Amino acid sequence: MMQTMIRLAEFVFNNALLLSVILVAAPFFMFHMKQLFQELLLNKKLDIKKRVMRNLERIPFHYSRWFLQKRIVVIILPFVVVAAIFLAATWNPIHFEHHLASIESEEDIRKVHEDFHERFYDFHILEAESQATDASIMRSLRMKNPKLHTGIDTVAHNGEYIFSMASRGIEITAVDGNDLDYHGYLDYEDTKKDELYHQHGIFVDKDRLVVLGSATEDISPVGATSEAYCEEEVSTVVRIYDINDDISLEDTYRMSGKVTDAAYENGVLSLVTKQYLPFGYEAFRLGDSLPWIARGDDTPLIQSYDSIHYIERVEPNSFISFHAIDLERESHDFRTLLMDYQSEVRIMDNAFYIAANHYRFHKITDGMRLSDPVESIDTSLTKFRVDTFGMVRHQVTLSLPGALAFPNGLQVADGRILLLTRNEDNHTLFKLEKSLTHATLEHELPSHIYVEDLFYHDGIAYLSCDTENAHETRLYAITTHNIELLSIHEGILLTEAMIPRTGTPLFITLEKLDKESLAFHAHHYDSRENRVVTMDTLAVSVGDYKFNIIDRFPVEKEIHMDSDFRIVIPLYAFTTPSTQDSRYPSVLFIHLDEEGQLHPPESLNMRGVLHGRNPYSYRFVEMDDYVYHVTPRGITVSTEVEGEKKIVSEIVFP
Amino acid sequence: MFKLKAPKESRTRLRNKLKIIDSKEYEFVVTTDKEYVEDDKINIVFHEEDAQRVNRILNLIAQGEDVYIVGHSPRGMKRIESRRIHYFVVEEEEVSAVVRDGRFRVRMKLYEIEEMLKNKHFIRVSKYAIVNINKIDYIKPAFNSKLVLHMRNGDQVEVNRRYYKTFKKTLKL
């Protein structure tokens, strides 16, 4: 009952304008209807009266033209108005324009936001509800780790030094063959007081080390007790160090918003920052939230309103800025979109690809709020490219049928773009060239899959997904010749490889068979038979290698194929019987022969020196004949001695 | 005024011939069968083949006795048959009788005219007007519980709120 009352109140609240129109029109309608019936009745009675009186001059009662033309029109006018609204609702003449629309002022942004959200019925009466939603989104955005695309990782080297990310700085180790020399720890001395700094990725560009991070500054007013949106301001920080002689800070860039995607290609650092706009807070001031960038101690350059654009019908709830920092030219440029914070962004060949849901509303929502105002959802795909002068330019925006499949519905690889959309009946996989001028419908997939990840390699798309019936992640391949999902195997995709002799694409999956055994599978797609063929399976008893439990599967960047076609796989394991000190990381080297067959692995235990760092991460750096295994705790060097993998030196960070 | 009484099979036929609409409060019983005669009413018993003649008689009865009103115009004095008058109206403290194509001054008070014509289908509609029901072409409700009577000569006469109920009651059969 209470719920019904609240819903009723919300309906009234959300549709106040329409209801007031109806309330005003209804008395007029009632009045005119009453007049009409009275008129008809009186004239009918008059007619009968005359006939009773045997009126010889009697003219039979009839509806005069005047009556029909004027009276009825006036009476049914309210009906006509309401009918017109509903007729309009069934006919949707919206033509989407996929170009970028311009914004001139703060007023424009608020109008765009209101135009979008006022269609939704779930506009809460209580400000607290929308504030809670805003706070939750902002918190999740702050906590989310950015996606590091091409060129950026947690470990980098220039042949002389290996730089690896630690908790608050960079560990620097000088390397020369198997000689390791701890060079020092790079701390961020320029970090402000009351500022919490998180580093996300590093890379080396010739004589420069570039560190990407984000800073969260506590800006809550003194004495503030409640959690308010303005308590924390997140900014993205890029530090550029000269590593030619001594390591010194050369330049810094600081920009508003949390970095969500980053890539370093062709001398240009491409960054995407997102700033959620908490319109639910009364105290929120849009003018104070305009994107900005500051270089060194320069005055911040604030994005002007007329440099901000938006894509029509995409939820306008945040500023997404696309930055390009040209390290050679020492220049910077950025563009900003008013956009959905849930947009998927990928960076490839110095271009940003942004996919977001593109809503098509019922026409009736132009004047009325509905709990479900959405008639259909398309996916908008936009491309910004960094031109030869380092300027960020909008290139194209297009729309494809179906809502964007979250997460990872957008994938870029090999100069192509894969876009996975979904609707009620199926998923559709589109393949686009990077110019976005042409989209081809590749496959229609069942609707009951839940895509966890999407890979693309040599014309084959791999989907890691759940199905309704089996709540286990399975890997599927889709080819240009096949419209069905080709089930590869249970387990996860470890890495992509190739058969050394033929160069045929190969992919390796890892399956956990039971507590004490693993299986590695090598697959390839046979285009003649149009199916995925498992070429070889290698079962590994973890007991043989003193492994018992694998805490987690390795992530993509931790898997490598070295120059000798050995797949290097880090595993975090512990010996039996399990004791506090028996946990250690280990590395498997699985050899792939000329025909693509898997051979029993060699293993290297990290001798226990790399314990105790959480989260554990592993990177593999290959220089000359040496392999450097880098973890947050230290570096282990291995090489082949008399045909056998051996650890030749190691260093533990202080 | 009239009530037609006849066997079921001939009733509709006779009603069409005689153009009779039954009244609840009737004075005359019109019938082709003696068995339908009512003692306390005036009974008209006839053969069906005399229907046309009976029709004329019924018209005469309905019209009743002619009442004449003396009207004055610049051209002189004239006796006007009451059924030709559309309405009487008080203008500049003088009573006028409005006919199809003109008006005459009547040297009578409005209440006197009302009294004189109360059985001739005239009805008081306001302090200033009496209308002939037979000359009303159309009734149009207006705001504020008023009616506007569109007369056959094109004039409009307003039914005052005070006389609204009486007017509606008069229209009832």
DSSP per residue, A169-192: SEEEEEEETTEEEEEEEE--TTPP
Is residue A458 assigned to a domain? no
Contact (CB<8Å) B134/A50: yes
- Of the candidates B58, B139, B173, the beta carbon closest to that of A54 is on B58
The helix (H) or strand (E) run that includes residue A568 is strand A566-574
In a domain, A307, yes or no: no
Phi-psi region of A476 (alpha: psi -120 to 50; beta: other; left: phi over 0): beta
CB A504 within 8 A of CB A523: no
Q: Is A65 on the interface with B (CB under 8 A)?
A: no
Alpha-carbon distance of A464 to A56, in angstroms, equals 93
Q: Cβ–Cβ of B134/A48 closer than 8 Å?
A: no
ipTM reported for the complex, 2 dp: 0.86
Provide the number of CB pairs (under 8 Å) joining chain A to chain B.
54
The pLDDT value given to residue A478? 60
Beta-bridge mates of residue A259 = A273
DSSP state string for A316-341: --EEEEEEEEETTTTEEEEEEEEE-T
* C-alpha to C-alpha distance for A133 and A67, rounded to whole angstroms: 57
Question: Any long-range contacts for A431-434 (C-beta under 8 Å, 24+ apart)?
Answer: A432/A381, A434/A348, A434/A349, A434/A351, A434/A383
CA-CA distance, A461 to A414, in Å (whole number)?
Answer: 12
Q: Which domains does chain B have, with CATH numbers?
A: 2-63 (no CATH), 68-171 (2.40.50.1020)
Report residue B118 as tokens: 């109360």
Q: How far is CA B100 from the centre of its chain?
A: 16
Overall number of domains in chain A = 1
CB nearest A39 (choices: B63, B141, B171) = B141
Q: Quote the pLDDT of residue A204.
A: 92
Among A625-634, B38-47, B108-117, the least confident range: A625-634
Query: Of B68, B64, B69, nearest to B121 (Cα)?
Result: B64
Task: Identify the pLDDT of residue A354.
Answer: 93
Q: What local confidence, expressed as pLDDT, does residue B155 receive?
A: 92
Residue written as token pair 């650092």: A269
Q: Does A55 touch chain B (CB under 8 A)?
A: yes
Residue with tokens 């090999």: A414
A33 in reach of chain B (CB within 8 A) = no
Q: Is A50 on the interface with B (CB under 8 A)?
A: yes
* Of A8, A13, A32, A19, the residue nearest A85 (C-alpha): A19
Residue A234 · residue A249 · CB < 8 Å: no
B9-32 mean pLDDT: 86
Taking CA–CA distances from B57, the nearest residue in chain A reads A54
Whether the per-residue pLDDT at B28 is higher than 70: the answer is yes
Closest CA–CA distance from residue B97 to any residue of chain A (Å): 19
User: Are A46 and B139 an interchain contact pair (Cβ–Cβ within 8 Å)?
Assistant: yes
Answer whether residue A559 is part of any domain: no
| Whole-number pLDDT of residue B34 | 87
The Cα A45–Cα B141 span in angstroms is 14
Scan for tokens 């494809």, then name that residue.
Answer: A400
Min distance A57 CA to chain B CA atoms (Å)? 8
Range of the domain at A63: 2-91
Task: Considering only the beta carbons, identify the residue of B136, B140, B152 that sits closest to A39.
Answer: B140
pLDDT of residue A548: 40
Is B62 within 8 Å of A50 when comparing Cβ atoms?
no
Q: Distance from A47 to chain B by nearest Cα, in Å?
A: 9
Calpha distance B51→B37 (Å, rounded): 17
What value does the mean pLDDT take over residues B62-74?
Answer: 84
- Asked if residue B131 lies in contact with residue B123, where contact means CB atoms within 8 angstroms, the answer is yes
Which residue would you say has higher pLDDT here, A553 or B50?
Answer: B50
Q: How far apart are CA A606 and CA A539, in angstroms?
A: 23
What pLDDT, on a 0 to 100 scale, did the predictor assign at position A220?
A: 59
Residue A355 lies in a domain: no
Q: Is residue A77 part of a domain?
A: yes
Q: A119 near A370, Cβ under 8 Å?
A: yes
Q: What is the rounded CA–CA span in Å between residue A410 and residue A399?
A: 14
Using CB atoms within 10 A of its CB, is residue A190 exposed (0-12), middle (13-18) or buried (19+)? middle
Please give the order of strands across the beta sheet that includes A492-498. A492-498, A505-514, A517-526, A531-541
Q: State both tokens at A465.
A: 């997904």
The rounded distance, in Å, linking the Cα atoms of A194 and A196 is 7
Give Cα A149 to chain centroid, integer Å: 13
Q: Is A126 on the interface with B (CB under 8 A)?
A: no
Distance from CA of B165 to the nearest CA of A (A): 12
What span, in angstroms and rounded, lies between the C-alpha atoms of A621 and B144? 95
What's the rounded Cα separation, in Å, for the pair A385 and A381? 13
What does the pLDDT read at residue A471? Answer: 47
Helix (H, G, I), strand (E, B) or coil at B122: strand
Residues of B in contact with A42 (CB under 8 A): 139, 141, 147, 168, 171
Residue A34: closest CA among chain B residues belongs to which residue?
A: B141
* pLDDT score, position A482: 47
A 10 A CB-CB count for A231 gives 16
Q: What is the spatial distance between Cα A608 and Cα A630, in angstroms, rounded to a whole number?
A: 14
Closest by CA to A572, choosing from A615, A520, A510, A634, is: A615
Which ranges of chain A have pLDDT less than 50? 92-97, 125-126, 224-226, 228-229, 470-471, 480-484, 545-551, 610-613
In a domain, A579, yes or no: no
Instruction: Provide φ and ψ at A363, rounded to 5°.
Output: -60, -30
Whether the link from the prior residue into A407 is cis, omega within 30° of 0, is yes
Integer Cα distance of A284 and A272 in angstroms: 23
- Distance from the Cα of B71 to chain A's closest Cα (Å) equals 23
Chain B contact residues (CB < 8 Å to A): 1-2, 19, 21, 23, 58-59, 62-63, 121, 133-134, 136-141, 147, 152, 168, 170-173
Q: With beta carbons less than 8 A apart as the criterion, state whether A414 and A457 touch.
A: yes
**A62 and B CB contact within 8 Å:** no
Q: Is residue A366 part of a domain?
A: no
Contact flag A54-B59 (C-beta cutoff 8 Å): yes
Q: Which of A37, A38, A40, A42 to mutate to test the interface with B (most CBs of B within 10 A)?
A: A42
- A12 and A19 in contact (C-beta within 8 Å)? yes
The three-class DSSP label of residue A469 is coil
Distance from chain centroid for Cα A115: 24
Tokens describing residue A626: 């040496």
Report yes or no on A357 lying in a domain.
Answer: no
DSSP A159: S
pLDDT tens-digit map of B123-149: 999 999 999 998 998 898 887 788 999
Q: Which residues of B touch A54 (CB under 8 A)?
A: 1, 19, 58-59, 62-63
pLDDT tens-digit readout, A580-610? 555 666 777 888 888 888 888 777 776 655 4
For A604, the 3-state DSSP assignment is strand
Output the CA angle B41-B46-B47, nearest 5 degrees: 155
Tokens of A196: 């919490």
Contact A55, B21 (CB under 8 A): no
The model's confidence at residue B95, banded by pLDDT at 50, 70 and 90, is: very high
CB-CB neighbors (< 8 A) of B140 in chain A? 39
Q: How much is the pLDDT for A447?
A: 65
CB contact under 8 A, A42 and B23: no
